[in-house]
Structure 1
Amino acid sequence: MTPMKRTRHGLCSTWLSHLDPHNARLLVPVWIKGGLRFPDVSVPLILVGPGTGCAPFRALVEERISMSMSSVVAPIMFFFGCRHEEDDFLYKEFWLAQTQGSGVFSEEKGGGFYVAFSRDQARKVYVQHKIEEQSEKVWTMLNAGCAVYIAGSAVKMPSDVFSALERVVMQKGGMSEEAARRWLKQLERVGRYHVEAW
């Protein structure tokens, strides 16, 4: 139901609901749009996924959970953001479960899960603020050969996150702004910095 009291039907779900599941000749067209390719489980990760940007990371985390049963999995730092914890904290229980014990975000394993609820206090707090708060750990991960994945809104978030990482590199790496920017751009060139924004 929309705010204007109209019933809204999803395109794909409505189409699928009208198909006959007993029709053996039925073909459902499927395609993949986007280009996030994740590295081997031995590569540490920094994930930044505000709002629905967290969705691409759900399958990645599930895979890492599964792989951790039989092999060593590198740590993951995940920066999640949304407006309100009460209304917008997508997959809350799933993410929080991975911060416990042997979870893939556990601090003991070198990972972490950091949330920014931008509208739950007077001053807006975004994922880039949380990145800077964790600058020591972010710098350690960057130097350990991690890959950075950013997914979500294309409006300002990707450039704001890049700027936050740039400040971390400047502060912790003792670099000038220009040198820090070149350092991060080099990560992009070698396939360690990825942005999927829409």
Structure 2
Amino acid sequence: MDRSPQKGAGSIIRPQPPISLHKDIHSPAFDPAEDLPEWVRTTFLDPASPLHNEEHAHLVHASIGFLWTVVENSRKGRRIIGQCEEGKPQGAMGKWARARAEMQIKQWFGHVPDFIITLDAEYCRECGDAEFMALVEHELYHAAQDVDAFGAPKFSKSTGRPVFVIRGHDVEEFVGVVRRYGADAAGVRAMVDAANRPPEISRASIGHACGTCKLRVA
């Protein structure tokens, strides 16, 4: 089955950041991507979609707000083009600071969503369809449902809704994105190439070098 995005009548229309973000110097640095939640729901969460991903099934019950931004961001010298966060302001804040942050979020979305995903508008304007969808799904993989001590999905006792958390980078996330879009679109070509090459250090060498390693060395 061809799972590539299609264009034309009745097709999946990829959202684009507003031109004003790039050309209007008076435009705000962040702009709600109002069409992205429905696009994500139609593209990835709807079982009838050719691009449906059952690994995001828990997000059918989640509220996700999306933001475009022209604010450049980097970490350890690497450009950041997307970020998923919990909707409620996180970290140590005073009451006024938290109230201000929540007011801003409500001005953007009308409520405080479960998650906020911020996307680099410049990158999204220039990248291809596969790269864009890989980026969005990469961030969706961070939007997880919490589990209990037995690994079962956790639900709120008071509301019955899923308890959502941010999941860090893990193998499952990378496998999911690479499986659907390939190593290049997922931005992990170097990692995949390294994995396909013979190891520079054998398992036996690692076992002998690490005192806590429990590898069975032949």
Normalising by the residue count of structure 2, what TM-score does the alignment of the two structures yield?
0.28
Identify the structure with bigger relative contact order (alpha carbons < 8 Å, sequence gap 6+). Answer: 1
Normalising by the residue count of structure 1, what TM-score does the alignment of the two structures yield?
0.30
Q: Which has the larger radius of gyration?
A: 2
